[in-house]
Amino acid sequence: MTNVAFKKPLETYREDFTYSNSEKAIKRFPFPYPEDQYMYSVNMEYHVRGETGSIYENIFDVDEHYLSEMEERRIVLEKDPNRFVTLSHMDLHQWDVLELLMESFAQDYPKYFSLTKDGDNWVWENHPLGIKQSFVFGDKSTLPCEPAEYITRQAQGDFVLMDQRDNDLYADTAMITCAADWSVPFDLGMSFMEWHGPVPLAHGMGVFERALKYLLMIRLGQPVRRLNWTLTINSRMDTSPEVYHEWGHERGSITPDNVGEKIHLRVEVQTLFRLPRSNGMLFGIRTYLISMEDLCKNPEWAQRMHRVVKNLHPEIMDYKGITRYHKTLQGWLSQFDQQ
C-alpha cells in the first residue's frame, strides 16, 4: 500500500513560491531525456505499473504535493472558472473519467480514498481532502458540479477528454489549471492537428500523423504514456496565456546567481486511456516540477541537462520560451559537464 507524506503547511505555486521537492520526490522525478540531444518523436510506451515508490507504481500518481496542488487548482478556478470547459455531447466521457479516477484511486490508495457502489448509488470518500459524497452514477444533479470537474478537482495534473470521430480526436472537455503556455478555452473543440498546430518541426517530420493513427487504435485496458517537457521560471504551475502578464516577464529575471533556484524543469507525464462507455479518450497531463539546483544533485542528470540545453534546436528553444535565458542557463549548467 502506498503511503504519502502530504506536504504541510500547503506549498504555494505563486507569489512566494514555497513549493519544493523532498529527497524522495527528487529521486522519483521523471527525468525525460534518453539522449544528449532532444528531438520530437512518437515516444509512446504502454502505461504499465512500475517499481514500488516510482511515479509509475500506480495508475495515477498521488504524491507529496497533492493537497497543495489541489489548493492551487481551487485558486485558479476561483479566479477563472473557464479553466474547466465542456461541450454538450461529452456526458458519457465525463462519467467514464469519474469512474476511472475514482476506481483507480480507491484501488491504489485504499488508505486515502474509497468508493462504495450499490447499483448506481455510489459513495465516494476522499480522506486527505475531507470529502464524502453520495451520488447517483449517471445523474449529474446529484453532484455539486459537472462530473469531470468534480473528480479532477481531486486529482493532480490536467485532463483533456477527447471525443473520437471522423478518424480524429477532438478536445471537447478539459480541466486545465497548469498549462504549459496553451489556452484551453481557445483550444476547446479543436481536432488533434489543429490543437498541435503551433508545435514547430514535428509536423514536417510526420510525427502527428503517426501519433494520431496510434492513438486512435488505443484499446480498452491498454493505456499508453509519453513524456513531454519544458522549462518554467519559478515553481509556477499556472503558466497559461490567460495570465501571461503574471509570468511572462519572469523570463527576464534570470541571472547566473539565480538559475539553480529559479529555473525549473517541467515534465509532463502524458497518459492516454480509452474510455469504455463513450469510446473517447482521456488525455492526462501530470506535471512535475524540479528546480535546476535539485535536478543537478544527480550528476548524470546534470551532465545530460547541459548537453540537451546546449544542443537544443533554435525553433524548439523559441517555442518553449527558453531563448531569452538560454545562454545564462547553459553557462550555469556547464559546471556539471567537464568532459
Partner 1 sequence: MSTNFSHTARIIRADQVTPLIKHFSFERVDGKPFSPFSAGSHVIIGMDDGTESHKNPYSLVGSSNNFMEYEIAVRLDSTGRGGSLFMHNNVEVGSEIKIGNPYNLFPVYKPAKKHLMIAGGVGITPFMTYIDEMDLTHSNFELHYSVRDFENGAFAKELQDKYPNQVNLYIQANGIMANFNEILDNQPLGTHVYVCGPHQMVADALRIADEMGWPVSSVHSEEFKAPEPGNPFTVKLARSNREINVRSRESLLEALENADIEIPYSCRGGACGFCKTEVIDGEITHRDYFLTDAEKASGKCIMPCISRAQGDHLTLDI
Task: Indicate the residue among 19 and 283 with the shorter CB distance to partner 1.
Answer: 283
* Smallest gap from residue 115 Cβ to partner 1 (A): 14
Please tell me whether residue 222 binds partner 1 under the rule CB under 8 A. Answer: yes
Please tell me whether residue 45 binds partner 1 under the rule CB under 8 A. Answer: no
Please tell me whether residue 220 binds partner 1 under the rule CB under 8 A. Answer: yes
Kindly tell me which residue out of 9, 219, 300, 339 binds partner 1, with binding defined by CB under 8 A: 219
Task: Indicate the residue among 74 and 117 with the shorter CB distance to partner 1.
Answer: 117
Three-state SS across the chain? Answer: CCCCCCCCCCCCCCCCCCCCCCHHHHHCCCCCCCCCCCCCCCCCEECCCCCCCCCCCCCCCCCCCHHHHHHHHHHHHHHCHHHEEECHHHHHHHHHHHHHHHHHHHHHCCCCEEEEEECCEEEEEECCCCEEEEEECCCHHHCCCCHHHHHHCCCCCEEEEEEEECCEEEEEEEECCCCECCCHHHHCCCEHHHHCCCCCCCCCCCHHHHHHHHHHCCCCCCCEEEEEEEEEECCCCCECHHHHHHHHHHHHHCCCCCHHHHEEEEEEEEEEEECCCCCCEEEEEEEEEEEHHHHCCCHHHHHHHHHHHHCCCHHHHHHCCCHHHHHHHHHHHHHHCCC
By CB under 8 A, what part of segment 103-132 binds partner 1? none
By CB under 8 A, what part of segment 164-183 binds partner 1? 164-166
The answer to whether 129 and 70 have CB atoms below 8 angstroms apart is yes
Please tell me whether residue 68 binds partner 1 under the rule CB under 8 A. Answer: no
Q: How many Å apart are CA 210 and CA 71, to the nearest integer?
A: 37
Q: Letter for the amino acid at 2?
A: T
Q: Verify whether residue 304 is a known catalytic residue.
A: no
Task: Indicate the residue among 1 and 217 with the shorter CB distance to partner 1.
Answer: 217
Task: Indicate the residue among 29 and 124 with the shorter CB distance to partner 1.
Answer: 124
Among residues 14, 28, 83, 226, the one annotated as catalytic is: 226
* Smallest gap from residue 279 Cβ to partner 1 (A): 4
| x-or-dash string of contact with partner 1, 252-291, rule CB under 8 A | -----------------------xxxxx------------
Stretch that binds partner 1, among 92-100, 176-184, 201-209, 311-319 (CB under 8 A): 92-100
Kindly tell me which residue out of 62, 90, 215, 254 binds partner 1, with binding defined by CB under 8 A: 90
Task: Indicate the residue among 111 and 277 with the shorter CB distance to partner 1.
Answer: 277
Kindly tell me which residue out of 4, 87, 302, 317 binds partner 1, with binding defined by CB under 8 A: 87
Task: Indicate the residue among 67 and 272 with the shorter CB distance to partner 1.
Answer: 272
Q: Which residues are identified as catalytic?
A: 226
Binding site for partner 1 (CB under 8 A): 87, 89-92, 96, 99, 138, 163-166, 213, 217, 219-222, 275-279
